[in-house]
Amino acid sequence: MMGTYVRIVDRMNYRIGRIAMYVIFAMMAVLLWSSFTKVMPGVRPSLWTLEVAQFLMVAYYILGGPYSIQLDSNVRMDLIYGAFSLKRKAFIDCFTIFFLIVYLVFLLGGALNSFAYSLGHFTQETYSFLWGLLAAFFTGGPSGVGEEIGVLERSRSVWRPVLWPVKLVMITGITLMLLQSISELFKDIACWRTGDADPFGTSPIEKDIA
């Protein structure tokens, strides 16, 4: 059961992370276009470039986060931790990853509240509102959803884009990070019991080298 979950989640986040790597080039292209419009004669500077670049950066780091955890490339202090044995490291990681899971659960709740707010829902009944949106989508399609939402939240910039798409990306990334954290907890428990650094054979490092 644990092995099946770990393999499915790791495979999914590995592929999403590899795709998210290339979002950085889209962000660079947007910023390059922004620079050209500021120096090219007869071309008015674009109003959308800065915020689009910010939205792409959000997608880049939040969708690539689970992949970073897989590669064990997240930032941490190894001054004392690095001297521990493999089993002791796994034992400590079981506790630290648990606190990360708790943090991500609260973060996901806040993201859902913010997403509901961006769709014009200003009361505290966030989850019933979101369930109602899903029900409206399956029964009435996009038009049914349009009847449920209120005034869309917009950025305060001159361009004033709606904010629900980037908040939906954040919900997706936090959910993927939560799933990956649970996968890491299962791997740490198995490593603590067996002493195997890769108990389920899902390490992406070997894939990258190969």
The size of the chain, in residues, is: 210
Per-residue confidence (pLDDT) for residue 24, from 0 to 100? 94
Determine the Cα–Cα distance for residues 115 and 98; give it in Å rounded to an integer.
Answer: 26
CA pair distance 104, 119, nearest whole angstrom = 22
Report the distance separating Cα 84 and Cα 77, nearest Å: 13
Q: How many angstroms separate the CA atoms of 78 and 82, rounded?
A: 5
Domain ranges for the chain: 2-76+84-198+205-209
Please identify every stretch of the chain with a pLDDT value under 50, giving residue numbers as ranges: 208-210
Per-residue pLDDT, 205:
60
Torsions phi, psi of 148, nearest 5? -90, -30
Q: Which residues contact 40 (CB under 8 A, 6 or more apart)?
A: none
Please tell me the predicted confidence (pLDDT) of residue 144. Answer: 85
Q: Any idea which residue has 């970073």 for tokens?
A: 68
Estimate the crossing angle of helix 164-194 against helix 49-70, to 10 degrees. 10
Query: Which has the closest alpha carbon to 63: 155, 154, 180, 164?
Result: 180
- What pLDDT was estimated at residue 210? 41
Q: CB–CB of 184/93 below 8 Å?
A: yes
Q: What integer best gives the mean pLDDT of the chain?
A: 89
What is the full DSSP assignment across the chain?
-HHHHHHHHHHHHHHHHHHHTTHHHHHHHHHHHHHHHHHSTT-PPPSSHHHHHHHHHHHHHHHHHHHHHHTT-S----TTGGGS-HHHHHHHHHHHHHHHHHHHHHHHHHHHHHHHHHTT--SS-HHHHHHHHHHHHHHHHHHHHHHH--SPPB-SSSS--BSHHHHHHHHHHHHHHHHHHHHHHHHHHHHHHH--SSTTS--HHHHHH-
Q: pLDDT tens for residues 33-86?
A: 988 888 888 778 788 999 999 999 999 999 999 999 888 877 777 778 778 888
Residues 6+ apart with CB under 8 A from 187: 6, 198, 199, 200, 202
- Confidence (pLDDT) at 18: 93
